[in-house]
Structures are given as structure tokens and as C-alpha cells.
């Protein structure tokens, strides 16, 4: 048998699936491919989970910083809104308490 004839016979056996061990090799290759795909998928999912965990931690830190800033602003607002401070600031700006004759009461 020549090389060309042998090649034709092997091609025919491959096409018909009669090559000894080819089916087992194909099954093993398919299983390997499936396992490799599953492993790559699991790695991708794991990396995504890690990325999301870092993002969640960053958002928690931002929330804590915002809560601390809000607390500081509330304290500052209450300090700025205190009536004695407002009165002191008005006097510094030159405002005076109006006399009885300067007050006008409008009726409905």
C-alpha cells in the first residue's frame, strides 16, 4: 500500500469513526475541554466576586465617611443656629433691638 492509499484509508476511517481508539480519544478530549471551560468559568466568577468585594468595602468606607461628615455638619448647624450666637453676630454687624415705637403691627 502506498502512502497516498494509506492516507485515503485513514481519512475514510476517521470519517466513518472506525479508527481504533479515536472515539475514546475524542471523549477524553471533549471531557478535558469541558473541564477546562468550567475551570476558566469558575476563575472568572471568583475574580468577579473578589472585585465586587473590594467595591463593597470601598462603598462602606465612603458611607462611613459621609455619616461622619453629616454628624459634623449637624453639630455645626446647631451651633450656628443657636439664638445667643445669632444675637451676638447681629450686634457685631451693627443691628440693634428696635424700640417700641419702631415696631409696626399689621392686622389681618
pLDDT score at 16: 66
pLDDT score at 84: 84
Across all residues in the chain, what is the average pLDDT?
86
Task: Spell out a b/e string for 28-50, using b for 16 or more CB atoms within 10 Å of the CB, else e.
Answer: eeeeeeeeeeeeeeeeeeeeeee
3-state secondary structure of 47: helix
Spell out, as residue ranges, where the chain has pLDDT lower than 50. Answer: none
pLDDT score at 4: 77
Cell of 21: 481508539
Amino acid at each position: 500500500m502506498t502512502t497516498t492509499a494509506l492516507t485515503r484509508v485513514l481519512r475514510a476511517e476517521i470519517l466513518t469513526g472506525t479508527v481504533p481508539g479515536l472515539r475514546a480519544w475524542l471523549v477524553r478530549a471533549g471531557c478535558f475541554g469541558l473541564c477546562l471551560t468550567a475551570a476558566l468559568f469558575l476563575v472568572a466568577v471568583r475574580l468577579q466576586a473578589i472585585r465586587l468585594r473590594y467595591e463593597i468595602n470601598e462603598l462602606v468606607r465612603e458611607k462611613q465617611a459621609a455619616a461622619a461628615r453629616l454628624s459634623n455638619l449637624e453639630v455645626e448647624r446647631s451651633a450656628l443656629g443657636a439664638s445667643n450666637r445669632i444675637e451676638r453676630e447681629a450686634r457685631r454687624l451693627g443691628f440693634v433691638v428696635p424700640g417700641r415705637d419702631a415696631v409696626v403691627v399689621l392686622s389681618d
